[in-house]
Amino acid sequence: MSKLRCPCGHVIVDQTDALPYKARVIRDQDAEAFWVEATTVLADFVAAIRAGARSTWLSQHLSPEYPQDVTDESVISDLLAGLEGRYATKAYECESCGRFLLQRAPDDPSFAAFSPDVGGATHVLMGRHR
């Protein structure tokens, strides 16, 4: 996505990383499945490395065209990004009116909007560990 119009008319722009008004949400009912799948695929990848079958594993689990010369960290990042794409939805806080816009489902381009009790942005999505 690149732009989203808030009900107030403000255009929320999403064209870069580390936005202070954007978050990814994994719903509580999906969290256990996400973590089980993440730990399972990562443990399987580690086992393949230990068994000397990294190349075969990458071809089978990612794609035959997946580059073989990438670092393990890059593979893990790609695996987790893929899982995040299946489980997480996007959330935005309008910088103008403070509305919270939550994507309805990972594969649904529509958003639900929620108004804050106080007017204006409160920066509830701004990172705390940067």
The number of distinct structural domains making up the chain is 2
HSE toward the beta carbon, residue 82, CA cutoff 13 A? 13
Of 96, 107, 83, nearest to 30 by C-alpha is: 83
pLDDT at 3 over 80: yes
Q: Which domain holds residue 74?
A: 27-87
> Domain check: are 61 and 100 in the same one?
no
Write the pLDDT tens digit of every residue in 87-113: 999 999 999 999 999 999 999 999 999
Q: Tell me the pLDDT tens digit for each residue of 16-53.
A: 999 999 999 999 999 999 999 999 999 999 999 999 99
Both 75 and 106 in one domain: the answer is no
Q: CB under 8 Å to 88, separation ≥6 — which residues? A: 24, 25, 26, 106
Same structural domain, 81 and 109: no
The mean pLDDT value for 113-121 works out to 88
Strand 108-114 relative to strand 89-93, pairing: unpaired
Which residue do the tokens 């994507």 mark?
103
Question: Cβ distance 85 to 106 under 8 Å?
Answer: yes
pTM: 0.86
**54 plus 73 within the same structural domain:** yes
